[in-house]
């Protein structure tokens, strides 16, 4: 990252890391401020950041070098580690040159993302909402802390050298001005292009509150069958009516409702007071292919190998003639981009779809996403906080079936695979993916990329 303090760099860094992790590119944010507090201490006054303070400048360069060492080691620890986001000011060419000297020799591509903000109102809000809560100002008077941080910014301005084409034509960079204007230069590869796509779709100062709900209990839920396109049970209808009452009592009757095109979600929406209901096919439940309409027990009996392979890697496993969780995430990407721009939305859809959406907003791994609990007859409220989100569950006390299946132990999976004479590297699993024209690792980026 590049930019003066309080320009939304940390916010952008965490949002970008969340998105890249969600699409299968393992990413991590390295905040230089946290390392500085560990190495040098807290309560550093604004003088520490004066570019003419030789001692402070040497200390800050030492911290920057230490963080780069940590990043390089992180890449070496695991070949799946793909993107490191260096969350720091990097406001001088000297500091950016340090990054360019250290990273390319290690096989790490470098792209800079600069955040420029001229709006003094947003700057002050950023300082008061985020910066004054950091450990540097614990126990300080808010006004004194605000004045100190403002002077810190003035010190950075003394040496600030923005990215520009005249001097930085050979670099890969994205310059974001006042949230809405983008200058993109010399991007290389898929990750950098996807990063630009994401940044052009988010609104950093929009705080989206989401209300998520599955449809009311369906006839297939009651029979413990997966998939299908059945109507609601009596309990499902009762839930839909209670959901409508909840919306009225909380003044949420004007928010848009997004739903799938399946009977059980449409019927649930028919009991709501909201008029703005939009249907999207990409919100349909995961396609179970040949397993659609079967219970888990029937799948285990009829397709024992498929049943075992799904437990082995539930996120990447694709139902025969159907979909995987990875496929669902891919078709949900346009919805995620739209959700980033909304103030409030109610989504009424399905278990696997909501797992993918909740996984995105809570920054959960691909191992965790397929096992997120999304119970029937429950509203999940997602609220943005600082650089992440909080989840709250609201239950209405309407009886329903339990459709969650816990993650199986590695021992039980190994035992079943052994009984079926399947190993982890069994070619039948690869053939199953190839047969459908996909690869379970098509979103994995092999090159190390560092976003600074």
73 is catalytic: no
Q: Which of 14, 102, 152, 264 is catalytic?
A: 264
Q: Which of 21, 31, 155, 221 is catalytic?
A: 221
411 is catalytic: no
214 is catalytic: yes
Q: Which of 96, 152, 214, 377 is catalytic?
A: 214
Q: Which of 114, 123, 267, 285 is catalytic?
A: 285
350 is catalytic: yes
Listed in sequence order, the residues at least 6 apart from 194 whose beta carbon sits closer than 8 Å to its beta carbon are: 19, 20, 23, 25
Q: For residues 115 and 149, what is the distance between their CA atoms, to the nearest angstrom? A: 18
Count of CB atoms situated within 10 Å of the CB of 361: 23
Contact 220, 233 (CB under 8 A): no
Q: For residues 237 and 266, what is the distance between their CA atoms, to the nearest angstrom? A: 12
- Region of 186 (left: φ > 0; alpha: ψ -120 to 50; beta: rest) is left
Task: Quote the radius of gyration of the chain (alpha carbons, Å).
Answer: 25
User: Strand (E) positions, 7-100?
Assistant: 26-31, 81-87
169 is catalytic: no
Q: In what order do the strands lie in the sheet with 388-395?
A: 277-279, 257-259, 344-349, 209-214, 378-385, 388-395
Listed in sequence order, the residues at least 6 apart from 247 whose beta carbon sits closer than 8 Å to its beta carbon are: 253, 255, 272, 273, 274, 346
Structure tokens at 244: 């409508």
Q: Which of 350, 355, 432, 448 is catalytic?
A: 350
CA 293 to chain centre: 32
15 is catalytic: no
Catalytic residues: 214-215, 221, 264, 285, 350
């Amino acid at each position: 990252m590049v930019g003066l303090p309080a320009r939304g760099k940390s916010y952008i860094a965490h949002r970008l890391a969340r998105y890249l992790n969600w699409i299968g590119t393992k990413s991590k944010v390295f905040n230089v401020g946290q390392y500085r507090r560990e190495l040098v201490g807290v309560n550093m006054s604004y003088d520490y950041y004066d570019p003419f303070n030789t001692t402070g400048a040497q200390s800050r360069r030492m911290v920057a070098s230490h963080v780069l060492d940590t990043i390089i080691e992180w890449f070496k620890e695991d070949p799946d580690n793909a993107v490191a986001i260096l969350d720091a000011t990097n406001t001088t060419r000297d500091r950016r040159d340090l990054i360019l000297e250290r990273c390319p020799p290690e096989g790490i591509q470098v792209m800079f993302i600069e955040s420029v903000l001229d709006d003094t109102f947003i700057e002050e809000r950023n300082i008061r909402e985020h910066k004054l809560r950091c450990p540097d100002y614990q126990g300080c008077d808010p006004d004194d802390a605000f004045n100190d941080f403002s002077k810190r910014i003035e010190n950075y301005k003394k040496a600030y050298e923005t990215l520009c084409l005249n001097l930085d034509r050979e670099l890969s960079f994205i310059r974001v001005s006042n949230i809405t204007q983008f200058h993109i230069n010399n991007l290389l590869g898929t990750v950098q292009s996807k990063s630009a796509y994401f940044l052009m779709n988010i609104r950093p100062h929009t705080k989206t509150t989401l209300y998520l709900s599955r449809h009311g209990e369906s006839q297939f839920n009651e029979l413990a069958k997966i998939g299908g396109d059945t109507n609601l049970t009596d309990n499902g209808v009762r839930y839909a009516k209670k959901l409508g009452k909840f919306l009225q009592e909380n003044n949420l009757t004007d928010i848009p409702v997004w739903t799938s095109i399946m009977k059980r979600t449409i019927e649930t929406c028919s009991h709501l007071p909201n008029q703005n209901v939009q249907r999207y096919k990409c919100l349909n439940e995961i396609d179970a292919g040949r397993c659609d309409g079967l219970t888990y027990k029937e799948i285990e009996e009829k397709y024992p190998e498929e049943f075992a392979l799904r437990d082995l890697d539930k996120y990447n496993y694709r139902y025969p003639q159907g979909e995987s969780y990875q496929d669902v995430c891919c078709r949900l990407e346009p919805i995620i981009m739209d959700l980033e721009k909304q103030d409030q939305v109610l989504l009424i859809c399905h278990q696997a779809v909501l797992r993918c959406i909740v996984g995105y907003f809570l920054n959960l791994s691909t191992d965790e996403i397929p096992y997120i609990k999304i119970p029937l007859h429950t509203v999940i409220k997602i609220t943005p906080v600082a650089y992440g989100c909080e989840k709250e569950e609201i239950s209405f006390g309407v009886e329903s079936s339990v459709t969650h299946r816990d993650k199986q132990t590695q021992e039980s999976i190994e035992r079943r695979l052994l009984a079926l004479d399947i190993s982890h590297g069994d070619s039948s699993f690869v053939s199953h993916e190839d047969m459908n024209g996909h690869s379970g690792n098509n979103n994995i980026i092999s090159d190390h990329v560092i976003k600074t």
